[in-house]
Amino acid sequence: MRFALSIFILLFSLAASAQPKLTPKDVIHQTGDKLFSRIATSQAELQKFPELMRNIVEEELMPVVDYRYAAFKILGKHVRKASKEQRTKFVSSMKHYLVRTYATALNQYKDQKVTYGQSKISKSGRTASVDALITEDGKPDIHLTFQMRKNKKTGQWKAYDMIVEGISLLSSKQAEFSSRISKHGIDQVTVELASLSK
């Protein structure tokens, strides 16, 4: 279960690319190739200093992950009540939380095989989904679907959600954080996220 969750988090991080005019499938595939190539060439350093994985995540993934949109979706109804400063702090804490989460998952990467399906673009052309399959000897296959959206200004496709075996990362996080925000407030949850990022 822990392994599946780690791969779930890991592959959500792969569904983004800074290059416009690529299909959603190309975005996922090229980002994954670049990321895993860098991890492979950095193994000696990572064995001595595992925390360097955070640098790789910051440089290879975070500039191209739509963490702001995902953070706002997670806030849901609370986004309207939050001040601009509160929203900014929450997005920042969410970004750092994701960096730590992705780095932890990527440190467990053991050269699993990932096969990508074709892009399924919506009629509006603004959203798309891409199926993927993770295979590893001696482990059950993991079926994934990346949910992506196209930036109106840049034309870039970026991931905002991933569904694994029917479970949405975004929906589960939204339910978790929405409940805590209702009970403790956005400022407290933002502080909690920041503490989890250390």
User: How many whole angstroms separate alpha carbon 181 and alpha carbon 149?
Assistant: 26
Is residue 16's pLDDT more than 50? no
Q: Could you say which DSSP state residue 26 is in?
A: H
Question: Across the chain, what does the average pLDDT equal?
Answer: 82
* Nearest to 6, CA basis, from 107, 96, 95, 139: 107
Residue 182 has pLDDT above 60, yes or no: yes
Range of the domain at 57: 2-196
Q: Alpha-carbon distance 189 to 192, whole Å?
A: 5
CATH code for position 26: 3.10.450.710
Tell me 16's DSSP state. B
The answer to whether residue 24 scores a pLDDT higher than 70 is: yes
The whole-number pLDDT of residue 185 equals 92
User: What pLDDT score does 14 carry?
Assistant: 53
The predicted-structure confidence for 98-157, as pLDDT tens digits, reads as follows 888 778 877 776 667 778 888 899 999 999 998 888 787 888 888 888 888 998 888 888
- Radius of gyration for the chain, computed over Cα atoms and rounded to the nearest angstrom: 17
Whole-number pLDDT of residue 4: 47
Domain count, the chain: 1
pLDDT > 90: percent of the chain: 21
